[in-house]
Amino acid sequence: MAVDRVLPTPEAHDLLDLVRDLVAKEVAPRAAGDEAEGRFPREVFTTLGRSGLLGLPYPEEYGGAAQPQEVYLQVVEELAAAFLAVGLGLSVHTLSCFPVAAYATEETRAALLPDMIGGELLGAYCLSEPQSGSDAAALTTRARASADGGYVVDGVKAWTTHGGAADFYTLMARTSDNGARGISCFHVPGSAPGLSFGRPERKMGMRSSPTAQVRLDSVRLAPGALIGAEGEGFRIAMAALDGGRLGIAACAVGVAQAAFDAASAYARERRQFGSRIADFQGIGFMLADMATQIAAARALYLDAARLRDAGRPYGTRAAMAKLFAADTAMKVTTDAVQIFGGYGYVEDFPVERYMREAKVLQIVEGTNQIQRLVISRAVTKEG
Protein backbone atom coordinates (compact mmCIF):
# COMPACT_ATOMS: atom_id res chain seq x y z
CA MET A 1 0.00 0.00 0.00
CA ALA A 2 1.50 3.33 -1.03
CA VAL A 3 1.69 5.68 1.93
CA ASP A 4 -0.08 9.02 1.41
CA ARG A 5 2.77 11.37 2.23
CA VAL A 6 2.78 15.06 3.05
CA LEU A 7 5.87 16.59 1.44
CA PRO A 8 7.06 20.20 1.56
CA THR A 9 7.40 20.89 -2.20
CA PRO A 10 6.22 19.62 -5.59
CA GLU A 11 9.86 18.74 -6.27
CA ALA A 12 9.82 16.43 -3.27
CA HIS A 13 6.69 14.68 -4.56
CA ASP A 14 8.43 14.16 -7.91
CA LEU A 15 11.45 12.75 -6.09
CA LEU A 16 9.29 10.23 -4.20
CA ASP A 17 7.63 9.21 -7.47
CA LEU A 18 11.10 8.61 -8.93
CA VAL A 19 12.08 6.54 -5.90
CA ARG A 20 8.93 4.43 -6.03
CA ASP A 21 9.48 3.73 -9.72
CA LEU A 22 13.11 2.79 -9.09
CA VAL A 23 12.09 0.58 -6.16
CA ALA A 24 9.50 -1.26 -8.26
CA LYS A 25 11.93 -1.89 -11.12
CA GLU A 26 15.37 -2.23 -9.54
CA VAL A 27 15.06 -2.97 -5.82
CA ALA A 28 12.00 -4.97 -4.77
CA PRO A 29 12.30 -7.74 -7.39
CA ARG A 30 15.72 -8.80 -6.12
CA ALA A 31 15.27 -8.47 -2.36
CA ALA A 32 14.22 -12.04 -1.51
CA GLY A 33 16.81 -13.63 -3.81
CA ASP A 34 19.70 -11.49 -2.61
CA GLU A 35 18.80 -12.16 1.01
CA ALA A 36 18.52 -15.90 0.46
CA GLU A 37 21.91 -16.01 -1.25
CA GLY A 38 23.62 -13.46 1.02
CA ARG A 39 24.44 -11.40 -2.07
CA PHE A 40 25.37 -7.72 -1.59
CA PRO A 41 23.44 -5.56 -4.12
CA ARG A 42 26.35 -3.23 -4.87
CA GLU A 43 25.02 -2.33 -8.30
CA VAL A 44 21.80 -1.04 -6.72
CA PHE A 45 23.83 1.58 -4.87
CA THR A 46 25.48 2.58 -8.13
CA THR A 47 22.00 3.04 -9.58
CA LEU A 48 20.96 5.09 -6.56
CA GLY A 49 24.04 7.24 -6.93
CA ARG A 50 23.51 7.89 -10.61
CA SER A 51 19.92 8.84 -9.79
CA GLY A 52 21.18 11.42 -7.30
CA LEU A 53 19.99 9.55 -4.22
CA LEU A 54 23.31 9.04 -2.39
CA GLY A 55 23.72 12.73 -1.64
CA LEU A 56 20.16 13.84 -0.93
CA PRO A 57 20.71 15.97 2.21
CA TYR A 58 24.02 17.50 1.13
CA PRO A 59 24.69 20.84 -0.64
CA GLU A 60 24.25 21.21 -4.37
CA GLU A 61 27.65 22.84 -4.68
CA TYR A 62 29.24 19.46 -3.89
CA GLY A 63 26.89 17.42 -6.06
CA GLY A 64 24.16 16.83 -3.48
CA ALA A 65 20.45 17.49 -3.81
CA ALA A 66 20.03 19.86 -0.83
CA GLN A 67 16.89 18.05 0.30
CA PRO A 68 15.62 18.52 3.86
CA GLN A 69 15.88 15.63 6.28
CA GLU A 70 12.09 15.38 6.19
CA VAL A 71 12.32 14.33 2.53
CA TYR A 72 15.54 12.31 2.67
CA LEU A 73 14.22 10.10 5.48
CA GLN A 74 11.02 9.29 3.60
CA VAL A 75 13.22 8.10 0.72
CA VAL A 76 15.05 5.86 3.20
CA GLU A 77 11.72 4.50 4.41
CA GLU A 78 10.56 3.67 0.87
CA LEU A 79 13.81 1.82 0.13
CA ALA A 80 13.79 -0.06 3.44
CA ALA A 81 10.21 -1.22 2.90
CA ALA A 82 11.33 -2.92 -0.30
CA PHE A 83 14.79 -4.12 0.79
CA LEU A 84 16.22 -3.23 4.19
CA ALA A 85 19.82 -3.80 3.09
CA VAL A 86 19.38 -0.94 0.62
CA GLY A 87 17.49 1.45 2.89
CA LEU A 88 19.89 0.89 5.77
CA GLY A 89 22.81 1.05 3.35
CA LEU A 90 21.74 4.52 2.22
CA SER A 91 21.43 5.60 5.85
CA VAL A 92 24.93 4.30 6.66
CA HIS A 93 26.39 5.99 3.59
CA THR A 94 24.80 9.31 4.58
CA LEU A 95 26.09 8.89 8.13
CA SER A 96 29.58 8.21 6.75
CA CYS A 97 29.56 11.42 4.71
CA PHE A 98 28.30 13.63 7.53
CA PRO A 99 31.64 14.34 9.30
CA VAL A 100 33.26 15.61 6.10
CA ALA A 101 30.22 17.71 5.20
CA ALA A 102 29.80 19.21 8.68
CA TYR A 103 33.29 19.39 10.19
CA ALA A 104 35.98 19.31 7.50
CA THR A 105 37.74 22.41 6.22
CA GLU A 106 36.44 23.95 3.02
CA GLU A 107 39.51 22.64 1.22
CA THR A 108 38.88 19.08 2.44
CA ARG A 109 35.16 19.26 1.63
CA ALA A 110 35.91 20.40 -1.89
CA ALA A 111 38.45 17.62 -2.33
CA LEU A 112 36.44 14.72 -0.88
CA LEU A 113 32.73 15.38 -0.76
CA PRO A 114 31.86 15.50 -4.49
CA ASP A 115 33.19 11.98 -5.03
CA MET A 116 31.68 10.70 -1.78
CA ILE A 117 28.16 11.78 -2.69
CA GLY A 118 28.48 11.83 -6.46
CA GLY A 119 27.21 8.32 -7.05
CA GLU A 120 30.12 5.95 -7.56
CA LEU A 121 31.45 5.59 -4.01
CA LEU A 122 29.90 3.87 -1.00
CA GLY A 123 30.83 4.66 2.60
CA ALA A 124 31.13 2.87 5.94
CA TYR A 125 31.27 4.18 9.51
CA CYS A 126 33.80 2.76 11.97
CA LEU A 127 33.15 3.49 15.63
CA SER A 128 32.46 0.23 17.50
CA GLU A 129 35.23 -2.17 18.48
CA PRO A 130 35.22 -5.74 19.77
CA GLN A 131 35.50 -4.50 23.39
CA SER A 132 33.80 -1.10 23.08
CA GLY A 133 30.31 -1.15 21.64
CA SER A 134 27.89 1.00 23.64
CA ASP A 135 30.88 2.48 25.53
CA ALA A 136 32.27 4.21 22.46
CA ALA A 137 34.59 6.47 24.46
CA ALA A 138 36.58 3.37 25.49
CA LEU A 139 37.80 2.67 21.95
CA THR A 140 41.49 1.73 21.57
CA THR A 141 42.26 2.04 17.84
CA ARG A 142 45.26 4.36 17.79
CA ALA A 143 46.31 7.05 15.30
CA ARG A 144 49.88 8.27 15.82
CA ALA A 145 51.25 11.38 14.18
CA SER A 146 53.88 10.71 11.51
CA ALA A 147 56.83 12.83 10.42
CA ASP A 148 55.06 14.02 7.26
CA GLY A 149 52.18 15.52 9.22
CA GLY A 150 49.90 12.55 8.60
CA TYR A 151 49.01 9.59 10.81
CA VAL A 152 49.68 5.87 11.18
CA VAL A 153 46.67 3.90 12.41
CA ASP A 154 46.52 0.52 14.15
CA GLY A 155 43.48 -1.22 15.55
CA VAL A 156 40.34 -3.23 14.87
CA LYS A 157 36.81 -2.01 14.31
CA ALA A 158 33.81 -4.32 14.68
CA TRP A 159 30.24 -4.55 13.35
CA THR A 160 31.02 -2.34 10.36
CA THR A 161 28.20 -2.23 7.83
CA HIS A 162 29.72 -2.44 4.32
CA GLY A 163 32.98 -3.67 5.86
CA GLY A 164 35.10 -4.94 2.98
CA ALA A 165 32.67 -3.55 0.38
CA ALA A 166 32.93 0.20 1.00
CA ASP A 167 35.06 2.63 -0.97
CA PHE A 168 35.85 4.80 2.06
CA TYR A 169 35.67 4.48 5.85
CA THR A 170 34.89 7.23 8.33
CA LEU A 171 37.03 6.19 11.28
CA MET A 172 37.14 7.21 14.93
CA ALA A 173 40.58 6.60 16.46
CA ARG A 174 42.44 7.64 19.57
CA THR A 175 45.09 10.38 19.22
CA SER A 176 45.65 10.80 22.97
CA ASP A 177 44.76 9.07 26.23
CA ASN A 178 42.43 11.88 27.31
CA GLY A 179 39.26 9.77 27.37
CA ALA A 180 36.51 10.95 25.03
CA ARG A 181 38.54 14.10 24.33
CA GLY A 182 41.37 11.99 22.95
CA ILE A 183 39.37 10.67 19.98
CA SER A 184 39.72 12.07 16.46
CA CYS A 185 37.93 11.49 13.17
CA PHE A 186 39.61 10.33 9.94
CA HIS A 187 38.74 9.66 6.33
CA VAL A 188 40.27 6.36 5.19
CA PRO A 189 40.22 5.31 1.51
CA GLY A 190 39.10 1.71 1.01
CA SER A 191 42.28 1.03 -0.97
CA ALA A 192 44.69 2.14 1.80
CA PRO A 193 47.60 -0.30 2.27
CA GLY A 194 47.34 -2.12 5.58
CA LEU A 195 43.54 -2.12 5.55
CA SER A 196 42.00 -5.61 5.70
CA PHE A 197 38.72 -7.18 6.69
CA GLY A 198 37.38 -10.11 8.64
CA ARG A 199 34.96 -12.68 7.30
CA PRO A 200 31.44 -11.21 7.04
CA GLU A 201 29.39 -12.01 10.11
CA ARG A 202 26.82 -14.80 9.78
CA LYS A 203 23.68 -12.96 10.82
CA MET A 204 20.10 -13.75 11.70
CA GLY A 205 18.89 -11.25 9.10
CA MET A 206 20.25 -8.59 6.74
CA ARG A 207 22.35 -11.33 5.15
CA SER A 208 22.88 -9.40 1.94
CA SER A 209 24.41 -6.45 3.82
CA PRO A 210 28.01 -7.30 4.73
CA THR A 211 28.98 -6.66 8.35
CA ALA A 212 32.64 -7.29 9.12
CA GLN A 213 35.62 -6.33 11.22
CA VAL A 214 37.88 -3.65 9.76
CA ARG A 215 41.54 -4.21 10.59
CA LEU A 216 44.11 -1.43 10.38
CA ASP A 217 47.74 -2.52 10.40
CA SER A 218 50.03 0.53 10.19
CA VAL A 219 47.65 2.26 7.78
CA ARG A 220 49.27 5.51 6.65
CA LEU A 221 47.00 8.52 6.24
CA ALA A 222 47.86 11.86 4.68
CA PRO A 223 47.51 15.07 6.73
CA GLY A 224 44.24 15.86 4.98
CA ALA A 225 42.67 12.68 6.33
CA LEU A 226 41.97 14.29 9.71
CA ILE A 227 38.39 15.58 9.84
CA GLY A 228 37.91 18.47 12.24
CA ALA A 229 40.49 19.06 14.93
CA GLU A 230 42.36 16.48 16.96
CA GLY A 231 40.26 15.47 19.95
CA GLU A 232 36.99 16.47 18.28
CA GLY A 233 36.15 12.98 17.06
CA PHE A 234 33.85 11.89 19.88
CA ARG A 235 31.70 14.98 19.46
CA ILE A 236 31.62 14.37 15.70
CA ALA A 237 30.70 10.72 16.24
CA MET A 238 27.80 11.56 18.56
CA ALA A 239 26.47 14.24 16.20
CA ALA A 240 26.64 11.75 13.34
CA LEU A 241 24.79 9.15 15.39
CA ASP A 242 21.92 11.56 16.09
CA GLY A 243 21.30 11.69 12.35
CA GLY A 244 21.97 7.98 11.96
CA ARG A 245 19.30 7.18 14.54
CA LEU A 246 16.75 9.00 12.41
CA GLY A 247 17.84 6.86 9.46
CA ILE A 248 17.28 3.70 11.51
CA ALA A 249 13.87 4.99 12.62
CA ALA A 250 12.89 5.50 8.98
CA CYS A 251 14.16 2.01 8.13
CA ALA A 252 12.13 0.54 10.99
CA VAL A 253 8.97 2.25 9.79
CA GLY A 254 9.62 0.94 6.28
CA VAL A 255 10.00 -2.65 7.47
CA ALA A 256 6.93 -2.35 9.69
CA GLN A 257 4.89 -0.91 6.82
CA ALA A 258 5.94 -3.74 4.52
CA ALA A 259 4.96 -6.32 7.15
CA PHE A 260 1.63 -4.62 7.76
CA ASP A 261 0.84 -4.46 4.05
CA ALA A 262 1.58 -8.18 3.66
CA ALA A 263 -0.46 -9.14 6.74
CA SER A 264 -3.39 -6.92 5.82
CA ALA A 265 -3.54 -8.32 2.28
CA TYR A 266 -3.34 -11.89 3.58
CA ALA A 267 -6.05 -11.29 6.21
CA ARG A 268 -8.40 -9.97 3.53
CA GLU A 269 -7.81 -13.01 1.30
CA ARG A 270 -7.55 -15.85 3.81
CA ARG A 271 -10.87 -17.44 4.72
CA GLN A 272 -11.64 -19.65 7.71
CA PHE A 273 -15.03 -20.77 9.06
CA GLY A 274 -16.63 -19.17 6.00
CA SER A 275 -15.30 -15.65 6.65
CA ARG A 276 -12.23 -13.54 5.90
CA ILE A 277 -9.90 -13.72 8.87
CA ALA A 278 -9.71 -9.90 8.70
CA ASP A 279 -13.34 -9.90 9.87
CA PHE A 280 -12.48 -11.73 13.11
CA GLN A 281 -12.16 -9.17 15.86
CA GLY A 282 -8.90 -10.66 17.14
CA ILE A 283 -7.21 -10.16 13.77
CA GLY A 284 -8.92 -6.84 13.01
CA PHE A 285 -7.76 -5.36 16.31
CA MET A 286 -4.19 -6.58 15.66
CA LEU A 287 -4.21 -4.80 12.31
CA ALA A 288 -5.66 -1.66 13.89
CA ASP A 289 -2.87 -1.58 16.48
CA MET A 290 -0.23 -2.22 13.84
CA ALA A 291 -1.47 0.64 11.65
CA THR A 292 -1.65 3.00 14.61
CA GLN A 293 1.85 2.17 15.84
CA ILE A 294 3.32 2.66 12.36
CA ALA A 295 1.62 6.03 11.94
CA ALA A 296 2.87 7.14 15.35
CA ALA A 297 6.44 6.01 14.62
CA ARG A 298 6.43 7.82 11.28
CA ALA A 299 5.10 11.00 12.88
CA LEU A 300 7.80 10.85 15.55
CA TYR A 301 10.74 10.51 13.15
CA LEU A 302 9.33 13.24 10.90
CA ASP A 303 8.90 15.55 13.90
CA ALA A 304 12.56 15.01 14.81
CA ALA A 305 13.57 15.58 11.17
CA ARG A 306 11.69 18.89 11.06
CA LEU A 307 13.43 20.01 14.25
CA ARG A 308 16.77 19.24 12.60
CA ASP A 309 15.75 21.04 9.41
CA ALA A 310 14.84 24.09 11.50
CA GLY A 311 18.27 24.09 13.14
CA ARG A 312 16.86 23.23 16.57
CA PRO A 313 18.18 20.58 19.00
CA TYR A 314 16.83 17.19 17.97
CA GLY A 315 19.06 14.56 19.59
CA THR A 316 16.60 13.51 22.29
CA ARG A 317 13.75 13.34 19.80
CA ALA A 318 15.95 11.28 17.47
CA ALA A 319 16.59 8.81 20.30
CA MET A 320 12.84 8.65 20.95
CA ALA A 321 12.15 8.06 17.27
CA LYS A 322 14.73 5.30 16.97
CA LEU A 323 13.52 3.62 20.17
CA PHE A 324 9.82 3.73 19.35
CA ALA A 325 10.16 2.91 15.65
CA ALA A 326 12.48 -0.07 16.21
CA ASP A 327 10.28 -1.49 18.95
CA THR A 328 7.27 -0.93 16.69
CA ALA A 329 8.96 -2.80 13.84
CA MET A 330 9.66 -5.77 16.12
CA LYS A 331 6.08 -5.84 17.39
CA VAL A 332 4.47 -5.36 13.98
CA THR A 333 6.58 -7.98 12.24
CA THR A 334 5.96 -10.48 15.04
CA ASP A 335 2.22 -9.88 14.75
CA ALA A 336 2.42 -10.20 10.97
CA VAL A 337 3.96 -13.66 11.33
CA GLN A 338 1.16 -14.56 13.76
CA ILE A 339 -1.52 -13.43 11.31
CA PHE A 340 -0.02 -15.64 8.63
CA GLY A 341 0.04 -18.57 11.04
CA GLY A 342 2.15 -21.48 9.81
CA TYR A 343 2.68 -19.75 6.48
CA GLY A 344 4.36 -16.89 8.33
CA TYR A 345 7.11 -19.18 9.54
CA VAL A 346 8.28 -20.32 6.11
CA GLU A 347 10.37 -18.52 3.53
CA ASP A 348 7.67 -18.69 0.86
CA PHE A 349 6.22 -15.51 2.39
CA PRO A 350 8.25 -12.39 3.28
CA VAL A 351 7.06 -11.78 6.82
CA GLU A 352 9.57 -14.16 8.40
CA ARG A 353 12.33 -12.12 6.75
CA TYR A 354 10.83 -8.87 8.01
CA MET A 355 10.76 -10.27 11.54
CA ARG A 356 14.43 -11.29 11.39
CA GLU A 357 15.38 -7.91 9.93
CA ALA A 358 13.43 -5.93 12.51
CA LYS A 359 15.50 -7.34 15.37
CA VAL A 360 18.72 -5.69 14.23
CA LEU A 361 17.05 -2.29 14.23
CA GLN A 362 16.73 -2.51 18.02
CA ILE A 363 20.53 -2.91 18.19
CA VAL A 364 22.29 -0.76 15.56
CA GLU A 365 23.19 2.94 16.00
CA GLY A 366 22.92 2.45 19.76
CA THR A 367 20.82 -0.27 21.35
CA ASN A 368 17.33 0.64 22.46
CA GLN A 369 18.59 0.43 26.04
CA ILE A 370 21.11 3.17 25.20
CA GLN A 371 18.28 5.23 23.66
CA ARG A 372 16.37 4.95 26.93
CA LEU A 373 19.48 6.10 28.78
CA VAL A 374 19.83 9.13 26.47
CA ILE A 375 16.17 10.01 26.87
CA SER A 376 16.10 9.52 30.65
CA ARG A 377 19.10 11.77 31.11
CA ALA A 378 17.46 14.47 28.99
CA VAL A 379 14.11 14.39 30.76
CA THR A 380 15.59 14.32 34.27
CA LYS A 381 18.20 17.05 33.67
CA GLU A 382 17.84 20.07 35.91
CA GLY A 383 17.53 23.56 34.51
* Catalytic (active-site) positions: 365
Beta carbons within 8 Å of 92's beta carbon, 6+ residues apart: 123, 124, 125, 161, 162, 244, 247
Beta carbons within 8 Å of 135's beta carbon, 6+ residues apart: none
Taking the C-alpha atoms of residue 269 and residue 13, their distance in angstroms, rounded to an integer, is 32
Taking the C-alpha atoms of residue 84 and residue 279, their distance in angstroms, rounded to an integer, is 31
Taking the C-alpha atoms of residue 297 and residue 253, their distance in angstroms, rounded to an integer, is 7
Tell me the H-state helices in the chain: 10-22, 28-37, 42-50, 69-82, 84-103, 106-117, 233-269, 281-309, 315-340, 351-361, 368-379
Question: Distance from first CA to last CA of the chain, Å, rounded?
Answer: 45
Contact (CB, 8 A) for 330 and 382: no
| Burial environment of residue 82 by CB neighbours within 10 A (0 to 12, 13 to 18, 19 or more) | buried
